[in-house]
């Protein structure tokens, strides 16, 4: 497959990044994952806006304007023949020439890498119908989860805890409340009300989250943005997660306890359908 590295579209085997790149040495970098349906990008503007915010929070320069980045995304989709799948983008603070904790001068050239993954069937409902099982795990990540950094070791560990327990994913818990999933935002539904954690430094502001909450409100569903506990989740009628690559996916058990009737909930099913339909229409 063809990847993009600092201005060049090259074969994966020919791609090179310095061992002194701060992404490699300090996890000093940010990323975005944009899904592709029908060969088009879903919610590119949302991802570009969040990317710019992540860069600003870390005082990192954008390697090029966001409109040009869109063209790089499109070229990657074209070169790799992606019909359904994703584009991964990563910007790191680059190679200042030596290892030093302090940020290098602002004119250090950032590294920009993109690759694609083809995922035929991404929008199918087969996976969604089965639903996910999750475990709860302490949230041991750093305090700025609102910045989408490549520092993903704890989410990996949480995923391994889930695997070891025979589950699909982990919902992380801090001070007694669920923050989010290892790579998605977490929701419960009780009666006609959708509950998901309010935004803050504790979670990533999901681009899918913003769209799904907008569609929910437009469909006259009630939305509460507030913290909830694992016990409240176990007692909910249904639960689900959202992310760019899973859209809306039901959660059917938590810590081995079935949620609702243990099947895909009707609210999650409806939101998934609306989200995919509307996203296809607005895709670029």
Q: Does 208 bind ligand PMP (CB under 6 A)?
A: yes
- Of the candidate spans 112-120, 217-225, 229-237, 241-249, the one that interacts with ligand PMP by CB under 6 A turns out to be 241-249
CA distance 54 to 58: 6
Three-state secondary structure readout of 155-166: HHHHHHHHHHCC
Q: Which is nearer to ligand PMP, 80 or 179 (CB)?
A: 179
Size of the site for ligand PMP (CB under 6 A): 13
Q: Does 209 bind ligand PMP (CB under 6 A)?
A: yes
Q: Does 207 bind ligand PMP (CB under 6 A)?
A: yes
- Of the candidate spans 216-224, 237-245, 257-265, 267-275, the one that interacts with ligand PMP by CB under 6 A turns out to be 237-245
In the block, residue with structure tokens 């935002």: 185
CA distance 109 to 139: 34
Q: Which is nearer to ligand PMP, 47 or 93 (CB)?
A: 47
DSSP for 260-284?
A: TTSS--HHHHHHHHHHHHHHHHH--
CB 237 within 8 A of CB 264: no
Tokens of 191: 């009666």
Q: Which candidate in 130, 148, 222, 263 is catalytic? A: 148
CA atoms within 13 A on the CB side of 245: 13
| H/E element, 37 | strand 29-37
Q: What angle do CA 127, 129, 131 make, to 5 degrees?
A: 75
Site string for ligand PMP, 33-52 (x = CB under 6 A): x-------------------
Contact positions with ligand PMP (CB under 6 A) in 134-193? 180, 183-185
- Of the candidate spans 60-68, 189-197, 236-244, 267-275, the one that interacts with ligand PMP by CB under 6 A turns out to be 236-244
Rg of the chain in Å (alpha carbons): 19
Q: Does 91 bind ligand PMP (CB under 6 A)?
A: no
Q: Which is nearer to ligand PMP, 91 or 204 (CB)?
A: 204
CB 19 within 8 A of CB 143: no
Judged on CB neighbours under 10 Å (0-12, 13-18, 19+), 256 is exposed
Q: Which is nearer to ligand PMP, 2 or 185 (CB)?
A: 185
Minimum CB separation of residue 207 from ligand PMP in Å reads: 4
* Binding residue (CB under 6 A) for ligand PMP from 91, 128, 204, 213: 204
Tokens of 269: 């099913």
Note if 148 is an active site residue.
yes
Q: Which is nearer to ligand PMP, 151 or 185 (CB)?
A: 185
Residues at the interface with ligand PMP (CB under 6 A): 33, 180, 183-185, 204, 206-209, 242-244
For the annotated catalytic residues, the residue numbers are: 148
């Amino acid at each position: 497959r063809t990847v993009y590295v600092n201005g060049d579209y090259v074969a994966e085997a020919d791609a090179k990044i310095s061992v002194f790149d701060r992404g490699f040495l300090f996890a000093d970098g940010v990323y975005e994952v944009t899904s592709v349906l029908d060969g088009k990008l879903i919610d590119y503007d949302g991802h570009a806006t969040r990317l710019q915010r992540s860069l600003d929070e870390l005082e990192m320069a954008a390697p090029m304007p966001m409109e040009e980045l869109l063209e790089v995304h499109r070229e990657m989709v074209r070169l790799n023949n992606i019909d359904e799948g994703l584009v991964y983008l990563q910007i790191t603070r680059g190679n200042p020439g030596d290892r030093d904790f302090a940020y290098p001068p602002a004119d250090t050239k950032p590294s920009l890498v993109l690759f694609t993954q083809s995922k035929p069937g991404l929008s199918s409902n087969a996976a969604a119908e089965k639903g996910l099982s999750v475990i709860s795990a302490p949230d041991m990540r750093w305090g700025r989860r609102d910045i989408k950094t490549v520092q993903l070791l704890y989410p990996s560990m949480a995923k391994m805890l889930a695997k070891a327990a025979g589950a699909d994913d982990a919902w992380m818990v801090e001070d007694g409340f669920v923050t989010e999933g290892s790579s998605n935002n977490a929701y419960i539904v009780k009666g006609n009300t959708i509950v998901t954690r309010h935004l803050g430094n504790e979670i990533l502001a999901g681009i899918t989250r913003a769209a799904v909450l907008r569609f929910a409100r437009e469909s006259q569903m009630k939305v509460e943005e507030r913290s909830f506990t694992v016990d409240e989740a176990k007692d909910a009628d249904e639960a689900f997660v959202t992310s760019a690559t899973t859209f809306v996916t039901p959660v059917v058990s938590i810590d081995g306890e079935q949620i609702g009737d243990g099947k895909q909930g009707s609210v999650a099913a409806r939101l998934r359908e609306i989200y995919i339909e509307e996203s296809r229409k607005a895709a670029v």
